[in-house]
Structure 1
């Protein structure tokens, strides 16, 4: 009884309180399975049993399967099938009991935990934002394999269940109640078990599940209902439009959900098991678990944060009220951090605040923010053209144009405004932090804070550590990012850091393919099919060709200033040729010229510019697979080089940053996980092929590959 506590009251109601020994959460381990089998046997042997309450001694109700076990699974198909069938069998036994079963949900119930709740006759949840329920397995490349697909489809009907199953959304109590995932909400945790027992006493004969009742009909229509048949026909192409066929789990979930309505309940449960067996060994599942669960957990838990007491910022300032500065000010105010927004004129600063006003108006219009909340948020942003509101800030973020002389002047003038112990961050995408730090009197308190556009949606910050940045400053910057609700990844200083270097290779390879005679439509479509959010030409237009040209000029100036040739962007030869030429033609990007790689029409549509054909050097007849691989391998290689050079500190941050900041295909689990999943030897072989055909930018060395922990090239 190390996994649970047993209590049988005088009314014959058994309360089973799960309490996994030595763990912070209840999960579906081998010990839990043995405990569940014991529980079912005890319940069956209990005389005068009148009901069962399922509860938890942990702060959460129950999590799903043990992901470490899933990630390390080496079972054969037959053994895996048998294990899953054994794991889920107690749920069927629970709902076959001749007495009512109630789940008393005191905290998060997800995955297998919520599948247990589905096996109960009633689900009662506490009114807490932490008490969320749902089946998020799809986000881990898996499917709900303990009856979740079959039971949720039977409980809600196909139309209502499919979005929850294929998107993996976790729902708070009120939403869960409105959708039918729970049946009752109570105010406090102490109210859960009494409410559960009251319901059992009032409904002593409510032991049969709807799907086990004679004449059961699926909500919204059975399998042969016209609306359901139509939904089953249109759902696959709609799903493909979202997944691009790159993720196996949503497709299997759809197939099982639809077919569960056409077969017996027991057969549907076995089909679900077979579906999970097929997904557990998949590359996509291992990548998703490594990225979405363990990687994110590492970042959010502060695994890479320097040790020290936590810091909370109370007064901040942002210098530069352009697109980035305005977005950063919003990020501060949205998390109740007061911010002074400074620009060269009050009018410019107020224009920056207007960005937040638009976001507030949109949120209010959708009912996501009350008038009082909107006014409170905007009151935290103080536009200014003077230094006075900045004085005494414990954080200043410089966000002026990517011009090194301008940045150095602003930093030198504003650094003294910091409070004692405050830190100064520069929002730069490529300029070396160590060089910028020379402009301030205390470089130990200077750090890079690279936000991404649009700031209100891109919830990640690349924290760049300069040569003299102290660990105390890194710790404070890490806490700052988490305070405003952003994921922090910490990298070391270099030209372009990590994200800009890698992203630049994606843009450049698109232009390299253009030079090689590949149709621009094929290039854009290949990027999308491979899993990138958009193609290289569309994204280059959005970030602006003129800004890219300015960055080139800035780095040449920096080389002259430092007396070095950095080699930054050396392999981006197509970018260096095409971007300046496009700018000279008045095609500096969407925002600036309404023209770039695309023509932007008055009706809001766009089309690729026919003049791109003028940049073709040679029609090399590049195979379709090579087009996709060049776009993806180029980024993976540059990420590996960043790890080899020490720009990246950890693989985890490389994977998280590549997906969230750069847009590397999410189904791969990140650029470095992509290399692991491909296989070290297979990756090198493919790089050798690409290098031989297209140039040294695809070259990889054994030393670089061996930076991936635990991997060595085969002899």
Structure 2
């Protein structure tokens, strides 16, 4: 069979079982392409006409695992088509054929099984998955692109594991490991990796009752009263977590389920039509655009991967230094952690344990990661390190003295990274005999949730150093954003403007809750004051003063007053908000103020104006990188496509005019930057 297939490898064994493996064209990730879809359609058509097989097994690729999702080109083809619905319905119909085959079908899963891969697995009668930590299942595109499944997944997942578990998994774009998948009945068996083929063969030959046939939860979900109450509760929960204007996919999933009839054909038709509507929306177009630019950052991270980076020496075991050290050890690098205070190192290693347990699961893997994270109060590991990272306090003389003392002990081909964002690299370079190997490597906290790392070039930073730094960032599965080594780099400069305007508004007597709710209404992940509390007001003050020293501007009095009083934000229990059990106590805003556009526009337009200024000054190479960088780090809403894209969609002239209005009311800090004149050209 199927000698004409390029992307699917097939083999018929002595028991007439057909073993199928997808091998996509990408080296690192096994994504389902349009060519792969076209071949799968032909393959399923042939299978449905051939009754000589005893069973069918989908296998993972040996290096890249099961199908890790759908290539973005498939979505782009849907968006570009004059008749998008048939694009979706072609494979949707074939997976329904697959689900109705009389022979047993098995998805043997190892590695990531996301989106299109999980749709194929759901269409099989059985699913068996390995117990490896890297084996995970889910539909991440629901949140990443605001798109629900389109090849039957919205129908099959709730049917398989019940609406009470299946719908929340869809709505929240939940990615689960195989322990949870086995518990809820998403997979029939969970086995060691070396037993995957044997388990799949056994399922074909013995044909036990499948989870779909036996699931009690699925049957309970069909009870009318239970179902009505469940859907009502899920919609209420979704309304509390998501904005239907900004996050349409969860509500589209609920709409489909509420309208569901017993006719599978009608349900699949409704799913396809709903998907196309989402795919053609501005929200998904903007998110897809950002995803393409994110791939540019991923490509930059491939540059230096072959340069033999194995050992990282981190100096400074504070919040950021300890997080960097733990992350590097998690990702397989040897790490030596140095600090002048040994108990800080002990605390860092102690805090790394639950992090490793959450990420790795198996005790042998946790133990290995802890072995890689080595306390080094005397700095003996410095001489062997390929990358030396300083993450000490953000004080110029402290950093300069440290770098001056470190340099003689660092091997010639190692790079020296500074986690600073507010001190110019040229200032730090003054302390080095060879400043060509100094580079800014600026991480964001919490590092686990923030994939972006700014890689900053000083005037004397060599190309080899930059490439090695970018490769290091890629090696630890973070995204390197190239920026100029000016004070604040890109992200802190832009977010500082946002934070300070929120503080100025609080100084004027506006309620913090009102300020933050207005920003969230625009789509920001956090309002300026709650974000400042989370960062730490002492850190905000330090950065704001440094940026004011180098670039002008004023620091609101309220920030210094809070810090002087010990109100440092969530870490001290009080900042702009009071915190009880680590949660902010927020008072309801004055309803008389909720319609004032200025409350929303002031922090947002300060952010936009600073973004335009950074682009004009060449802090970042182009608007696309600025957009993806700020959405990945500041909480700027991805559905708006990034700050510059948002401005250009709205109209640069209209935005500049609005800034002029704000300047006439609130002062020269709102004066439009010169960059507005040539923006969007």
After TM superposition, the score normalised by the length of structure 2 is: 0.84
| Pair 426,155 (structure 1): closer, same or farther in 2 beyond 3 Å | same
Question: In the aligned structure 1, how far is the partner of 2:496 from the partner of 2:126?
Answer: 54
Match of residue 288 from structure 1: 287
Whether 2:316 is the aligned partner of 1:316: answer no
The residue aligned with 2:613 is: 641
Distance 2:77 2:654 in 1: 21
Of 269, 288, 295, which residue of structure 2 is paired with 1:297?
A: 295
Alpha-carbon distance in structure 2 between the residues aligned to 1:404 and 1:674: 37
Instruction: Tell me which residue corresponds to 2:5.
Output: 2
- Which residue of structure 2 aligns with residue 68 of structure 1? 73
Segments of 5+ residues of structure 2 without an aligned counterpart are none
Aligned to 1:617: none
**Per-residue deviation at 1:249?**
0.8
Shift of the 35–241 alpha-carbon distance from structure 1 to 2, 3 Å rule, reads same
- The structure whose Rg is larger is 1
Q: Provide closer, same or farther for how the CA distance between residues 371 and 354 of structure 1 changes in structure 2, counting only shifts above 3 A.
A: farther
Residues 525 and 591 (structure 1), Cα distance of their counterparts in 2 relative to 1, 3 Å cut: closer
Aligned residue for 1:425, secondary structure, equals strand
**Do residues 407 (structure 1) and 406 (structure 2) align?**
no
Structure 1 equivalent of residue 467 of structure 2: 475
Give, in whole Å, the separation in 2 of the partners of 1:365 and 1:91.
35
Partner of 2:269: 270
**Which residue matches 1:163?**
168
Residue number in structure 2 paired with 1:231: 230
1:506 Cα offset (Å): 1.0
Match of 2:344 among 343, 351, 366: 351
| Counterpart among 487, 497, 502 of residue 505 in structure 1 | 497
- 1:443-465 Cα deviation digits (max 9, x unpaired): 00111222333456545432211
Determine the structure 2 residue equivalent to 1:616. none
Asked if 1:493 is matched to 2:485, the reply is: yes
Q: How many residues align?
A: 672
Which of 318, 335, 339 is equivalent to 1:338?
A: 335
Per-residue deviation, 1:11 = 5.8
Aligned equivalents of 2:297, 2:523: Cα separation in 1: 24
Q: Say if 1:288 and 1:667, in contact at 8 Å, map to a contact too.
A: yes
| Distance (whole Å) between structure 1 residues aligned to residue 135 and residue 365 of structure 2 | 26
3-state SS of paired residue (1:221) = helix
Q: How does 1:141-220 map to 2 (within 5 A)?
A: 141-185=146-190, 192=197, 196=200, 198-203=202-207, 219=218
> Any idea what the Cα deviations from partners look like across 1:500-525, whole Å, max 9, x if unmatched?
10110111221343466644321021
Distance 1:113 1:471, change over 3 A: same
1:589 aligns with one of 549, 558, 568: 568
Cα displacement (A) at 1:151: 0.6
State the alpha-carbon separation in 1 of the partners of residues 49 and 359 from structure 2.
54
From the superposition, tell whether residues 489 and 259 of structure 1 become closer, same or farther in structure 2 (CA, over 3 Å): same
Equivalent-residue separation in structure 2 for 1:387 and 1:6 (angstroms): 55
Q: Cα deviation per residue 1:620-675 (whole Å; 9 max; x = unaligned)?
A: 97943442233334323322332222111344543343233322234435434444
The equivalent residue for 1:668 is 640
Find the aligned partners of 2:502 and 2:528 in 1 and give their Cα distance. 6
Aligned residue among 374, 379, 388 for 1:381 = 374
Distance 1:455 1:107 in 2: 24
| Partner in structure 2 of residue 522 of structure 1 | 514
Would you say the 8 A contact 1:287–1:677 is kept in 2? no
Helix, strand or coil at the partner of 1:439: coil
What secondary structure sits across from 1:500 in the alignment? helix
Q: Equivalent residue for 1:562? A: none
Partner residue of 2:95? 91
Q: Is contact 1:444–1:469 with CA below 8 Å preserved after alignment?
A: yes
1:325 aligns with 2:321: yes
User: For residue 658 of structure 1, what is the aligned residue in structure 2?
Assistant: 630
Q: Secondary structure at the match of 1:461?
A: strand
Whether contact under 8 Å (2:99, 2:124) holds in the other structure is yes
What is the CA–CA distance in structure 2 between the aligned matches of 1:640 and 1:370, rounded to whole Å?
49
Mapped to 2, the partners of 1:541 and 1:42 lie a distance apart of 61
Secondary structure of the residue that 2:441 maps to in structure 1? strand
- Per the alignment, residue 421 of structure 2 pairs with 429
Q: 2:257 — aligned with what? A: 257
Moved more, 108-117 or 494-503: 108-117
Structure 1 residues 696 and 106 mapped into 2: Cα distance closer, same or farther (>3 Å)?
same
In the TM superposition, what is the alpha-carbon distance from 1:282 to its structure 2 partner? 1.4
- Alpha-carbon distance in structure 1 between the residues aligned to 2:297 and 2:230: 40
Decide which of 116, 120, 124 is 2:124's aligned counterpart: 120
SS in structure 1 at match of 2:483: strand
CA contact (8 A) 2:32 2:70 kept: yes
Distance verdict in 2 for CA 1:496–1:33, change over 3 Å: closer
- 1:295-341 per-position Cα deviation (integer Å, ceiling 9, x unaligned): 443333x33665684231325140x4433334334334444523141
1:80 is matched with 84
Whole-Å Cα distance in 1 between the matches of residues 138 and 611 of structure 2?
Answer: 35
1:396 aligns with 2:388: yes
Equivalent pair of 2:493/2:610 in contact (CA under 8 Å): yes
1:158–1:258 contact (8 Å) kept in structure 2: no
Distance in 2 separating the partners of 1:543 and 1:225: 47
Q: 1:223 to 1:173 in 2, by over 3 A?
A: closer
- Go from structure 1 to structure 2 and tell me whether the alpha carbon gap of 1:84 and 1:640 turns closer, same or farther (over 3 Å shift): same
Q: Report if aligned partners of 1:2, 1:19 keep a CA contact under 8 Å in 2.
A: no
Equivalent residue in structure 2 for 1:630, among 602, 614, 629:
602
Distance, in Å, in 2 between the alignment partners of 1:359 and 1:26 is 31
- Corresponding residue for residue 579 of structure 1: 559
Contact 1:510-1:537 within 8 A present in 2 as well: yes
Q: Deviations over 1:91-111 (max 9, x none)?
A: 112223333333344654322
Aligned to 2:458: 466
Distance 1:16 1:505, change over 3 A: same
- The offset of 1:350, in angstroms, is 1.6
| Equivalent residue in structure 2 for 1:111, among 94, 99, 115 | 115
